[in-house]
Amino acid sequence: MAESNQQVSQKRFTNSATDLPLDNVFEVLADQRRRNLLRYLLECDPPATVTEMADALLADAGTEGVEERRNLRISLHHVHLPKLDETGFVDYDAETNRVVGRNGIDQIAPYLDITETLER
């Protein structure tokens, strides 16, 4: 049976240097919060908790407050961490609120470097 167009495009556009499907990379990197989460995970000692991640992201942004922290934790739990888990960059256990970068997460670092340069 013939492969679907999506399967073919995933194979065709996979960067052989990193073996990450570019569709997944760009989908994840399209959001500033996910880029910041990946940077945090690349620098921290695993595992991280949602609370630790939210606190670090708020500190980096120079933002504080109970309401901001609550909203960020909700967004991490319901949107960003499930997306990172689904695309294979992290293992997120919603019951324990623990997050661990999967083997190979460091392969996204060059892409993060590029986005950091573009953000300046």
pTM above 0.75, yes or no: yes
Other Cβ atoms closer than 10 A to 67: 7
Q: DSSP string of 12-53?
A: HT--TTT---HHHHHHHHTSHHHHHHHHHHHHSPSPEEHHHH
> Could you read off the pLDDT of 16-62 as tens digits, one per residue?
444 667 888 899 999 999 999 999 999 887 788 999 999 999 988 77
Tokens of 88: 């294979």
Fold entry, domain 22-119: Arc Repressor Mutant, subunit A (1.10.10)
pLDDT value for 17: 41
Domain residue extents for the chain: 22-119
